[in-house]
Amino acid sequence: MQTDSALETPKTVVASKAAHIDRATLLRAYRLMQTSAEMARIYEENKAVTAKYVHATARGHEAIQLAAAFQLRETDYCALYYRDDAFMLGLGLQPYELMLQLMAKRDDPFSGGRTYYSHPSLRRPGVPIIPHQSSATGMQAIPATGMAHGIKYLESINNEQLIINNSAEGPTAHQQEIINSSLSIINSTPVVLCSIGDGAMTEGEVAEALQMAALHQLPIIYLVQDNEWGISATGREMRSMNAYEFAAGFKGLHRLQCDGADFVDSYATMQAATDYVRQRRGPVLVHAKCPLLGHHTSGVRREWYRGDNLAKHQQDDPLPRFHQQLLTEGFSEGELGYARAAAEATVQEDYQRALAAPNPDPATFADHEFAPAAVTEEAGERAPQGADKAIMVDAALHAVDDILREFPESLFYGQDVGGELGGVFREAALLAKKYGDARVFNTPIQEAYIVGSTAGMSAVGAKPIVEIQFADYIWPALNQLVEELSKSCYLSMGKFPVQSLIRVPIGAYGGGGPYHSGSIESTLLTIRGIKVVYPSNAADMKGLMRAAFLDPNPVVMLEHKGLYWSKVAGTEDAKTVEPEAGYVIPLGKANVVQEAAADKLAQGDTCVVITYGMGVYWAKAASKQLPGQVEILDLRTLNPLDWDAVQAATRRHGKVLVLTEEPLMNSFAESLAGRIQRHCFQQLDAPVFTLGAANLPAIALNVELEKQMLPNADKTLAALQELLQW
């Protein structure tokens, strides 16, 4: 083992270390190492069957994976990657279970046949919790760090640090439950283990994760398995330094190195790493050199590119090395032979069982897109008697304040939301002072971490509210939003929905320019597995904010900057009487904010504007010139869409304008218009009209250019007049 301060030659110290590992553990490791090797052998021998779906095996990595797995408890968490089947054997999973995933069978315990081999997601007594992780290389580092971040926060919860209802009544039943859970976490000292390859360490998102782990001293181990290959690219092609050397740049990140092909050295190193994290609650990076003895994956075969390198790696095969060590430690050939035979028999039997196991029922293909919504009905007082009117930004602030006060597991973070400022729009003003820096805090300029960490937070029981400062800057977060958040519920068969509320100020507001004015909803709406909310007034903001927080799924809440203060001409109605604390509106319910006159409707002289956000106010202003002729349907939630309300409005009027602030071409608005025409064609008296921004790549800085590009009340009026003439 090699550490920051002491250097050792790994192979010269392993014999003495073996004496500190009990015989049962050594024998179990040998049997599982044989099991892993036999699984790789049988997969290769039957590749016509096993390579139907792509897979990778741990061959060459077995020693470090088993050594790591043996250190973990059921109260710990793992973020594993696609070569970690030996790791899972070490955690107690059976070859049969892994083979069910290999063959995409119905009873695959992780995903029910939905995702690749060695992509686990598991909640099972006696086994560390393994949240869903994607195949995207290096992406697991941020959610794993989010797990550790969530654990650190939950460990901090106690009666003194909580603000409980601002009363002397003490904690509610829910708050006491969270306090008790916090005490349990403190007593179990959980660690998070993030398994990753050395090639993935070059990903920028890995650096974001390491930065936050070191900055906040989080209880996490980054286990870097370095086999010097990234598919066909060698280490010398991909990096100027290995992971151990790279990690030296992160002050406060403890580093260890070991011979990952030697079980005894690996065990001692992983034991030291785990002890360090449990005792000091700070991060460790372990760099383990391993040979790659199998194919990169079943679809990228070693003979295509490895050449003499494979023979070199074979010299470090961990299995014969461990066999010889055990003989030196007093094990007999008979004992080892029996363990090997038992492993081979188990693998052969499990393989035949897996072959015969049933496939998934095709009728279940759509199950678990989302976890069931927590809020299904409007509740609470929307317009309390005597209440003052509030602007949207204050309604949002008060909603978050209510949530932080009521739910101790909640926290709020993003760029500039903590400290004195409380957000560039003052949307988090004074919350950090009120709830403390552990709950409301600033992050670095790391959109990927802000979003991706919520997957890990959610997995450990924390409930994050996060903010992207401007919609124009969300793009670095899309890797995490797509790969880690949106797919988790579906691919884990509902075991790991991601409870995440992502606030995003959006839209043009007069001279914001090309990087502070964009609309992004159509891009977000191509991501399945997330919900997208877009309130247009203060009351809806407060009710939808609470529903979005309580929803067990990822929710992106788009908040129009031009509506925050009702300063833009025509947006005065965005300021409403503020609902009481606890008011909630179910996601996916549109609202008729303006009805057409009954006599005009009876004459067939009306239309409906289907819109959201700023479009509500363009439609209101335009309709003043068409008294009684225009209904306005505010969608409020774009996914899930209130399709029933859309169809009902279309049937009432027969004439529809879909209005958006986005560039129109290929937008959500055009998609919705097409759907209306397809499904409501017989009820239409005119083509479905659409109106949006000009099809340009950015909003110009000059306000006159901006006005020319965007819809407005006059453009909306012209469209409505043309529509009504049909």
The H or E element spanning position 659 is: strand 656-663
Question: Sheet containing 591-594: which strands, arranged edge to edge?
Answer: 591-594, 630-634, 607-611, 656-663, 689-693
Determine the 3-state secondary structure of 193 from DSSP.
strand
CA distance 548 to 313: 52
CA distance 432 to 425: 15
The partner residues of 192 in beta bridges, in order of sequence, read 77, 220
Burial degree of 495 (CB within 10 A; 0-12, 13-18, 19+): buried
Q: Which of the residues 398, 516, 560, 653 is marked catalytic?
A: 516
Asked whether 427 and 471 are in contact (CB, 8 A), the reply is: no
Determine the 3-state secondary structure of 634 from DSSP.
strand
DSSP designation for 300: B
CA distance 124 to 336: 31
CA distance 578 to 398: 9
CA distance 389 to 539: 9
The three state secondary structure string of 225-266 is EECCEECCEEHHHHCCCCHHHHHCCCCCCEEEEEECCCHHHH
Query: Which DSSP string corresponds to 126-185?
Result: TS-BB----SSTTTTHHHHHHHHHHHHHHHT--TTT---TTSSS---HHHHHHHHHHHHH
Q: Which residues of 423-456 are buried (b: 16+ CB within 10 A; e: fewer)?
A: bbbebbbebbeebbeebbbebeebbbbbbbbbbb
Query: Which DSSP string corresponds to 546-567?
Result: HHHHHSSSEEEEEEEGGGSSS-
Q: Output phi, psi for 227, to 5 deg.
A: -105, 10
Task: Look up 516 and say whether it is catalytic.
Answer: yes
> Does residue 283 have a cis bond before it (omega within 30 degrees)?
no
* Alpha-helical segments (H) within 461-610: 478-480, 488-491, 521-525, 538-550, 598-602
Of the candidates 560, 662, 571, 575, which has an alpha carbon nearest to the alpha carbon of residue 617? 571
Determine the 3-state secondary structure of 339 from DSSP.
helix
CA distance 494 to 714: 48
Q: Are strands 689-693 and 656-663 parallel, antiparallel or unpaired?
A: parallel
Distances in Å between the Cα of 461 and the Cα atoms of 144, 209, 277, 480, 629 are 13, 20, 20, 19, 50
Q: Which residues have a catalytic role annotated?
A: 516
